[in-house]
Structure 1
Amino acid sequence: MNEHCETSNPHPYEKSSWFSKIHHSWLFNIFKIRHKRSLESSDLYDLLSDFETSTLTNLFENAWNDEIQLSRAKNRLPSLFFTTIRTFQKSYLLIALLLISFECIRIGQPLILAYVLNYFKQCTTISHSQAWLTALLLCLLSWFSVTLRHAFYYHSLLLSQKIRICHMGLIFRKILRLHTSSFSSVSSGKMINLITNDVSKIEEFSTNIYYLLCGPIQAVFSLWLLWRRIGNTMFVIMIFFIVYIIIQMIFAKLIQQIW
């Protein structure tokens, strides 16, 4: 579908510098246009080359065929989840590194801030130059934190859109290959629900899976830091958070039953 579209307004992201990509300054041009007048369809940028429907669907279809052959050899059912992970494993790894770096900075910022505040004590051993360097480091970490956070959400949303395109493209090709007699057992409502509901759930899962992996590591490291700072009082805090999580899970199930 995409190959028949004429290129009229190339996307600036593809030729922008790394600084522009990090700070999203490539969007300034369209903001200027909107400030002067209302946007028109010709003002919108062309689709990024990485989001071509045919390219992504071909890539995912080949991976799915390999998964079917592998499942037959191992006598198991083919897994759409593992097929998606293998297809975009480099992107998943990059986004996971962004989140881990962001969470490490979040944990380190209070420790560095505590070091800076110790400079203002009367009997401090921290020199004036050390305080300035530490304050500068704290400012740099704040900048890195904001940059990594935006980069994580941006790339995770882009990846989820790619996964959505792959799944919907594969479903579309499967529907086109179905025999006419097969449509009697498959209703149009099931197809619409598969595209609108099920695919969106996979897209949402691919955005939040990183917290499922990073959360336990962050919790263990944070508890270790608390134990180093306040000793056995940390266990009281841990019990409080466990009770809080259980209450949250109960309320989540109740809300799910209501809806």
Structure 2
Amino acid sequence: MDSTKKHVNPSPEEKATFLSKIFYCWFMPFLKYGYKHDLEIKDIYNTTKSDLSAALGDQLEKNWLKEVQRAAKHKDRPRKPSLSRAIFKTFYKTYLVYGLFLLFQCLVIKMFQPIVLALYIGYYDKGTNALGPEIGWLLAVGVVTMSFVNMIIMHYTNLGCVRIGMRVRIACCSLIYRKLLKLSQGSLGQTAAGQLVNLLSNDVQRFDMASTYLHYLWIMPLQSIIAFYVMYRSVQMAAVAGMAAIALQAIPLQGYLSKLQGIYRSKIALRTDYRVKLMSEITSGIQVIKMYAWEKPFEKIVELARKYFQ
């Protein structure tokens, strides 16, 4: 099968309703077909218009050029254009919507879940005759509903945030590719192939991971305050010890481990650049040896080198 041939198979997600997107009903026909048949390339849906590399690259390039022009205006105080600011202007609207959903989940749903569950348990401690069966049914429905809503919002926001990270990665790769096409031969000679491969394969993947957890940087402090208030009403001063232990574990320890991880990642990136460059040189050397049929002479050279270094 020719994998380069483009097949027209529009994604049903583009025309799906809001409820269909939340419950992923638009994806069910694909799962049913895959259960009964062997999937081929032509069965996979086409990329949605919002995820196309050309469109994402155009949006990011537009904001990046604005950043370049903005930096050029400050002649008295030279400053570099900010790629992070260009990325923020390109994707912040959609990402903010998912952040609001996540804020509602963390500050409302997750905080009320233990409260309603405690009331439901207390309902049986006090006896059903004291409050009436209606209250018990209401609390039971509340516990189930909150768990259901929490699950829906969690999956919807996680997928949305991962998708935003994917779009940022695609847009950055498109921008890098366009820049490479504009570079002169002299500039290309100064740029290591290993650095480019590492940049396009490893570095941009950090956007996929960062987009999932970035919202928690500003939601966690708010959630901690509300959680401390809820615990303090239940266990009084014991909540202080619990929050202090969590704070000591989260801030100093996690901060140190994150810093250590960054140091090792920097070292790994340098080694990766060198490794890819070395493999490229080895591959080029093998091609030259094969082209001129130098296998036998170089085999003798390798044998002599092995004897010499033993």
Partner of 2:87: 84
Partner of 2:162: 157
Give CA-to-partner distance per residue, 1:4-55, whole Å, 9 cap, x none.
9855211011112222211112221111112112111111111101112111
Contact persistence 1:85–1:92 (CA under 8 A): no
Indicate how the Cα distance of structure 1 residues 44 and 144 shifts in structure 2: closer, same or farther if over 3 A, else same.
Answer: same
Deviation at 1:139, TM superposition (A): 1.4
Deviation at 1:242, TM superposition (A): 2.8
Partner of 2:171: 166
Residues 25-174 of structure 1: matches in 2 within 5 Å? 25-74=25-74, 75=77, 76-103=79-106, 104-122=108-126, 125-174=130-179
In 2, Cα distance between equivalents of 1:144 and 1:216: 23
Partner of 2:244: 239
- Within the candidate set 214, 217, 227, 2:219 is matched to 214
CA RMSD of aligned residues (A): 2.3
Moved more, 70-79 or 225-234: 70-79
Q: Secondary structure at the match of 1:238?
A: helix
In 1, Cα distance between equivalents of 2:91 and 2:196: 25
Indicate how the Cα distance of structure 1 residues 54 and 256 shifts in structure 2: closer, same or farther if over 3 A, else same.
Answer: closer
Deviation at 1:258, TM superposition (A): 7.5
Q: Secondary structure at the match of 2:202?
A: helix
TM-score w.r.t. the length of structure 2 is 0.76
Q: Secondary structure at the match of 1:39?
A: coil
Contact persistence 2:7–2:42 (CA under 8 A): no
Contact persistence 1:11–1:46 (CA under 8 A): yes
Moved more, 238-247 or 20-29: 238-247
- Residue type of the partner of 2:12? P
- Within the candidate set 203, 206, 227, 2:208 is matched to 203
Contact persistence 1:167–1:199 (CA under 8 A): yes
In 1, Cα distance between equivalents of 2:90 and 2:204: 16
Contact persistence 1:60–1:166 (CA under 8 A): yes
In 2, Cα distance between equivalents of 1:251 and 1:67: 34
- Residue type of the partner of 2:242? I
Q: Give the count of matched residue pairs.
A: 256
In 1, Cα distance between equivalents of 2:34 and 2:7: 21
Deviation at 1:185, TM superposition (A): 1.1
Contact persistence 2:166–2:207 (CA under 8 A): no
Give CA-to-partner distance per residue, 1:196-251, whole Å, 9 cap, x none.
12211233222221111111111111112222222222211122223333445556
Contact persistence 1:51–1:162 (CA under 8 A): yes
In 2, Cα distance between equivalents of 1:198 and 1:255: 14
Contact persistence 1:67–1:78 (CA under 8 A): yes
Contact persistence 1:71–1:78 (CA under 8 A): yes
Deviation at 1:252, TM superposition (A): 5.9
In 1, Cα distance between equivalents of 2:246 and 2:183: 52
Moved more, 201-210 or 85-94: 201-210
Q: Secondary structure at the match of 1:38?
A: coil
Indicate how the Cα distance of structure 1 residues 128 and 55 shifts in structure 2: closer, same or farther if over 3 A, else same.
Answer: same
Q: Secondary structure at the match of 1:10?
A: coil
Which 5+ residue runs of structure 1 have no aligned equivalent? none
Which 5+ residue runs of structure 2 have no aligned equivalent? 266-310
Moved more, 207-216 or 242-251: 242-251
In 2, Cα distance between equivalents of 1:243 and 1:100: 24
In 1, Cα distance between equivalents of 2:26 and 2:127: 50
